[in-house]
Protein backbone atom coordinates (compact mmCIF):
# COMPACT_ATOMS: atom_id res chain seq x y z
CA UNK A 1 0.00 0.00 0.00
CA UNK A 2 1.20 3.50 -0.77
CA UNK A 3 2.09 6.05 1.90
CA UNK A 4 -0.84 7.76 3.61
CA UNK A 5 -2.08 10.93 1.96
CA UNK A 6 -0.65 13.74 4.11
CA UNK A 7 -3.75 15.93 4.25
CA UNK A 8 -6.35 13.30 5.10
CA UNK A 9 -4.66 10.22 6.48
CA UNK A 10 -6.67 8.12 4.01
CA UNK A 11 -5.33 6.26 1.00
CA UNK A 12 -6.73 4.26 -1.87
CA UNK A 13 -7.66 0.78 -0.69
CA UNK A 14 -8.38 1.75 2.94
CA UNK A 15 -11.46 0.23 4.57
CA UNK A 16 -13.68 2.86 6.20
CA UNK A 17 -16.99 3.17 8.06
CA UNK A 18 -19.66 5.85 7.48
CA UNK A 19 -22.59 6.30 9.89
CA UNK A 20 -25.23 6.20 7.13
CA UNK A 21 -23.61 4.15 4.33
CA UNK A 22 -21.75 1.55 6.41
CA UNK A 23 -18.45 -0.06 5.43
CA UNK A 24 -16.64 0.67 2.20
CA UNK A 25 -13.31 0.88 0.40
CA UNK A 26 -11.63 4.15 -0.60
CA UNK A 27 -11.14 4.20 -4.37
CA UNK A 28 -9.91 7.79 -4.82
CA UNK A 29 -8.58 10.65 -2.67
CA UNK A 30 -8.85 14.32 -3.72
CA UNK A 31 -7.77 16.57 -0.87
CA UNK A 32 -10.38 16.11 1.87
CA UNK A 33 -12.84 14.42 -0.50
CA UNK A 34 -12.94 10.64 -0.73
CA UNK A 35 -14.62 8.49 -3.35
CA UNK A 36 -15.73 5.33 -1.61
CA UNK A 37 -17.24 2.10 -2.92
CA UNK A 38 -19.63 1.21 -0.11
CA UNK A 39 -20.54 -2.45 0.34
CA UNK A 40 -24.32 -1.84 0.26
CA UNK A 41 -24.79 1.80 -0.81
CA UNK A 42 -22.73 1.93 -4.02
CA UNK A 43 -20.09 4.54 -4.85
CA UNK A 44 -20.30 7.90 -3.08
CA UNK A 45 -18.13 11.00 -2.65
CA UNK A 46 -17.85 12.11 0.98
CA UNK A 47 -15.68 14.38 3.08
CA UNK A 48 -12.99 12.58 5.07
CA UNK A 49 -14.40 13.92 8.36
CA UNK A 50 -17.51 11.74 7.92
CA UNK A 51 -15.67 8.41 7.85
CA UNK A 52 -13.33 6.47 10.13
CA UNK A 53 -10.75 3.81 9.35
CA UNK A 54 -11.77 0.27 10.30
Task: Write out 24-54 in H/E/C secondary structure.
Answer: EEEEEEECCEEEEEECCCEEEEEEHHHEEEC
Domain count, the chain: 1
pTM (predicted TM-score): 0.86
Residue at 23 is within a domain: yes
pLDDT tens, residue order, the chain (54 aa): 455 555 568 999 999 999 999 999 999 999 999 999 999 999 999 999 999 999
Tell me, yes or no, whether 31 lies in a domain.
yes
Q: What is the mean pLDDT of the chain?
A: 91
The answer to the question of residue 5 being in a domain is no
- Whether residue 2 lies inside any domain: the answer is no
Residue 9 included in any domain: no
CATH number for position 40: 2.30.30
* Residues of the domain holding 43: 15-53
3-state secondary structure of 50: helix
Amino acid sequence: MAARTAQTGFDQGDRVFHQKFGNGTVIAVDGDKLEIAFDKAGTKKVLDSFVALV
